[in-house]
Amino acid sequence: METNEIQTGARSFIRALSRRGVEHVFTNAGTDHAPIVEALVAMRRRGEPTPEFHVIPHENLAISMAQGYYGVSGKPAVVLLHVTVGTANAICGLMNARRSFAPVVLVAGRTPSTQEGHVGSRNVPIHWGQDSFDQGGMVREFTKWDNELRAGQSVDALVDRAIAVAMAEPRGPVYLTLPRELLAEADAIEPGPVSPVATAPQPDIGAIERLAEALAAARRPVIVTSTLGPRGGGRAALESIASDYAIPVIQAWPWCVNIASSHPMNLRMQGAQWLAAADVVATVDAAVPWVPQFVKPPADARIFGLGSDPTYSMYPFRDFPATELVSGAGFAALVRLREALAEQRFDAAALEARRKTIAELQAGAAAERARRIAAAKLAQPIDAAWVADRLNRIRPGNGVLVNELCLPFDHLNLEGDDVYFGETTAGGLGAGIGFGLGAKLADRSRAVVSAVGDGCFMFGNPTPALLVARALAIPTLTIVSNNNLWYAVRQSTLALYPDGAAAGADPMPLTSFGPSPRYADMAEAAGAWGKRIENPADVEPALREAFERTEAGQAAVLEVVTAPGTR
């Protein structure tokens, strides 16, 4: 019989993805995928729907793109990897996905287990060497769930379960392995029902009422968040609570846009002073709400920890005090809190006084920013704050901005429907360019900027990324902050040993690169537009030119020679 005619496990797998609305599969293929390649062509010949399987020539890029795609589309993202080795290359991105609650569905082949007797049996030496005792064990610490397809099981049901688990709160990555023999074998099992996305867990209303009471009686309340974002109306609820009751918001290492930059209660990242004297603190979706050795709320502050898992059980050690821990999705908690606050009585005069105090704090912070920008205008090497400032002026609205060790967050304007990707607490560098490309694939109408450090650029698989940008027609602008250094490593050494031996060493070991390549020229070699600038006066015209190129369909790389420590 023609393979066209056989319903193989591979065909059932592809059909299962299609039936669940999966549009894109970020693929880095291997010998384990032969039945999938065969099935794809057979299905297309027969006119059966299939997702688009994209060739992504590095797994780290593939998983980062998947996460970027989810960040904009809200849909589960599927990554197809080659057995153990392909999985190994994706683990850094998997750690990011886990810590930032991205429902990435990783699927890897499983090297054949039989030497003979099946279409899929071992036929090259790697099929022995790529076997492992526990393939899922490679990723188990950073997934919510992992499993392997067994003979006689429904592929459809397993894919359904993988997606359902990934999308349930708190969301996170899952790992599914598919043995080659089973992909190649006939699969007569009829596909089953498609599971809905599980509803978000709701918080205990009594606890939310106690928080509302505490906020109504507070003198210096504050809300701290990192990963809330707009999903489920969370950001909208936060913005209205903050406005209506003059409650300032601190974004601790923000991962997404939790509150508009221009919101009068957005303390940006300057909230330390407020937090240190707060009397009621609500942390919402904030794994690391502050770093205790630098700042913490007073010992007698009432602290409410809110989130799907307010204990953050995936973190081995974490010791933040709490008066109450309230389980329930952060967005659901804030929607309920808004309702509960409406039932409270606030002292109008006290609210006005607080509003005024915060406005003064904000004015001081704005003046500080303006002073820096005035100096940055002429500074050479270029101050990254100047790049942020010009980007704010030029960047089209409702865009996507990825910031991986490049731009100072406090200087960014994130408004409206802007999507922001910050750093995850996993800190797996090299995701920024991929986040941007995946975001662009999810919504080509958005202008996408990936702003990355030079170290991050190299971690981010720039060659595959530029290839993919062209091949998939997803032109993004990558800004490379070239300080020819791992500044972060230098800074951490100085923080521990300000007067130590290393402080005086030039170059400081393990921090500087030596002669850096011309990143812009590398981009040109890959068919992208590239430009390198050293003069602050060139930032704005170069950004304009770069956006013209991306709008015309060409990827752009703008290399900016920056002063260390200005991000």
Which of these segments, 31-39, 314-322, 449-457, 547-555, binds Mg ion (CB under 5 A)?
449-457
User: In the stretch 92-131, what mask flags binding to ligand TPP with x, by CB under 6 A?
Assistant: x---------------------------------------
Contact call for residue 566 and Mg ion (CB under 5 A): no
Pick from 28, 483, 493, 550 the residue near ligand TPP by CB under 6 A.
483
Give whichever of 94 and 452 is closer to Mg ion, judged by the CB atom: 452
92's contact among ligand TPP, Mg ion, none, with CB below 5 to 8 A by partner kind, is: ligand TPP
SS3 113: coil
What token pair was written down for 7?
A: 């319903």
* 460 makes contact with ligand TPP (CB under 6 A): no
Tell which one of 454, 460, 520, 550 touches ligand TPP (CB under 6 A): 454
Binding of ligand TPP by 485 (CB under 6 A): yes
Q: Which is nearer to ligand TPP, 124 or 510 (CB)?
A: 510
Contact residue for Mg ion among 59, 185, 285, 454 (CB under 5 A): 454
Q: How many CB atoms lie within 10 A of CB 220?
A: 20
Burial class (CB in 10 A: 0-12, 13-18, 19+), 148: middle
Judged by CB under 5 A, the number of residues near Mg ion is 5
- Count of residues of this chain found to bind ligand TPP when the rule CB under 6 A is applied: 18
Q: Which two tokens stand for residue 227?
A: 């990963």
How many Cβ atoms are within 10 Å of 359's Cβ, its own excluded? Answer: 13
Task: Provide the CA 167 distance to its chain's centre, in angstroms.
Answer: 15
* Tokens 């939790």 belong to residue: 258
Q: Which stretch binds ligand TPP (CB under 6 A): 74-82, 184-192, 440-448, 484-492?
A: 484-492
The three-point CA angle 441-155-192 to 5° equals 95
Nearer to ligand TPP, 148 or 410 (CB): 410
Q: Which of 99, 94, 70 is nearest to 81 (CA)?
A: 94
Amino acid sitting at position 14: I
Q: Is 405 a residue that touches ligand TPP (CB under 6 A)?
A: yes
For residue 562, what are the β-bridge partners?
A: 382
195 versus 512: smaller Cβ distance to Mg ion: 512
Question: Taking CB under 5 A as the rule, does residue 76 contact Mg ion?
Answer: no
- Please name the helix (run of DSSP H) or strand (run of DSSP E) that holds residue 126, with its range, or none: helix 126-129
The only residue of 53, 70, 421, 459 in contact with ligand TPP, by rule CB under 6 A:
459
Whether residue 96 contacts residue 106, with contact meaning beta carbons closer than 8 Å, is answered with no
- Closest residue by Cα to residue 282 from 243, 250, 316: 250
User: What is the rounded distance in angstroms from the CA atom of residue 384 to the CA atom of residue 369?
Assistant: 13
Segment contacting Mg ion by CB under 5 A, of 106-114, 301-309, 455-463, 505-513: 455-463
Out of 487, 519, 529, 547, the residue judged to bind ligand TPP by CB under 6 A: 487
Question: Do the Cβ atoms of 94 and 173 come closer than 8 Å?
Answer: yes
- DSSP string over 206-230: HHHHHHHHHHHH-SSEEEEESS--S
Counting contacts by CB under 6 A, is residue 493 touching ligand TPP?
no
Q: Per-residue x/- mask for ligand TPP, residues 357 to 396, rule CB under 6 A? A: ----------------------------------------
Q: In whole angstroms, how close is the CB of 458 to ligand TPP at the nearest point?
A: 8
Question: Left, alpha or beta for 527 (phi > 0: left; psi -120 to 50: alpha)?
Answer: left
- Find how far residue 84's CA is from the centre of its chain: 24
| Site stretch for Mg ion (CB under 5 A), options 232-240, 290-298, 352-360, 453-461 | 453-461
Q: In the structure encoding, which two tokens stand for residue 137, read together?
A: 């064990």
Interface residue with Mg ion, options 453, 460, 464, 475 (CB under 5 A): 453
> Rg for the chain (alpha carbons), in Å?
25
Rounded distance between C-alpha atoms, residue 360 and residue 32, angstroms:
62
Least distance from ligand TPP to the Cβ atom of residue 53, Å: 27
Answer with the entry of Mg ion, ligand TPP, none that 158 interacts with (C-beta below 5 to 8 A by kind).
Answer: none
The only residue of 230, 328, 453, 462 in contact with ligand TPP, by rule CB under 6 A? 453
Best CA proximity match to 89, nearest among 69, 126, 64, 54: 64
Residue 442 vs residues 16, 80, 331, 438: alpha-carbon distances, Å: 21, 18, 23, 6
Q: Is residue 493 close enough to count as binding Mg ion by CB under 5 A?
A: no
The site partner of 271 among ligand TPP, Mg ion, none (C-beta below 5 to 8 Å per kind) is: none
Q: Determine, following the binding rule CB under 5 A, whether residue 455 of this chain makes contact with Mg ion.
A: yes
Residue numbers at the binding site for Mg ion (CB under 5 A): 453-455, 483, 485
Residue numbers at the binding site for ligand TPP (CB under 6 A): 92, 405, 427-430, 453-456, 459, 483, 485-489, 567
